[in-house]
Amino acid sequence: MVNAMMNPMTAMPSSSSATGMGMGMPVMAPNMMMVPRCTMKMEKCAGGMKITCMCDDPAACVMMQNLCTMMAGGMCSMCCTMNGMTVCCCNMTMGACKVEMTANGCCVTCTSGDKMCCDMIQACCDCMMMCMKSGCACCLMMGGTPVCCCMC
């Protein structure tokens, strides 16, 4: 799958001749998974924020939509990394997150009726947007499982 990236939060690929090939082929650890690469857009909305994930590759889109469907209802979180190090991680425990499928991806809306919780969600939105604008990779997770990643 061309539009997929390895989740940097679970394991890193390594080169090894332990496979018997001796050609420096990457060896995948058992807990590694491929995560669809997407274009991610975050914006504030009434009561919270909206995260839109879009994939150009149909196979990556279907994989992301299947992951979202399976993990819907779990805690939604976003993690921004730069050079393999976590810069910021926001857990949307202060709001209710709803997942909707779109033609080329999904849309996650996290909102709260409480003013203070809404402010926290929107502050997380500002933080994530600035991290992405500054070159961080962002990973959207549901229930702790990555569903899509974006490299801006």
| C-alpha distance from residue 24 to each of 13, 15, 21 (Å) | 11, 5, 8
- List the domain boundaries for the chain: 37-140
Per-residue confidence (pLDDT) for residue 70, from 0 to 100 = 84
| pLDDT tens digits for range 21-40 | 444 444 444 555 667 788 99
Per-residue pLDDT tens digits for 48-100: 999 999 999 898 889 888 888 888 787 899 999 999 899 999 999 999 999 99
pLDDT higher than 80, residue 148: yes
Q: 90-125: string of b/e by CB count within 10 Å (b at 16+)?
A: bebebbebebeeeebbbbbbbbbeeeebbebbbebb
Determine the pLDDT at residue 74. 79
- Per-chain mean pLDDT for the chain: 81
What's the pLDDT score for residue 100?
A: 93
Please list the residues that pair with 74 across neighbouring strands.
none
Closest CA relative to residue 72, chosen from 7, 132, 145: 145
Instruction: Give me Rg for the CA atoms of the chain.
Output: 16
Report the pLDDT averaged over residues 99-109: 93
CB atoms within 10 A of CB 15: 11
Q: Could you tell me which residues are beta bridge partners of residue 77?
A: 91, 141
Q: What pLDDT was estimated at residue 71? A: 83
Please indicate whether residue 55 or residue 7 has the higher confidence score (pLDDT): 55
* Nearby residues of 84 by Cβ (< 8 Å), 6 or more positions away: 8, 12
Q: pTM of the prediction?
A: 0.75
d(CA 90, CA 130): 13
Q: How confident is the model at residue 19 (pLDDT cuts 50, 70, 90)?
A: very low
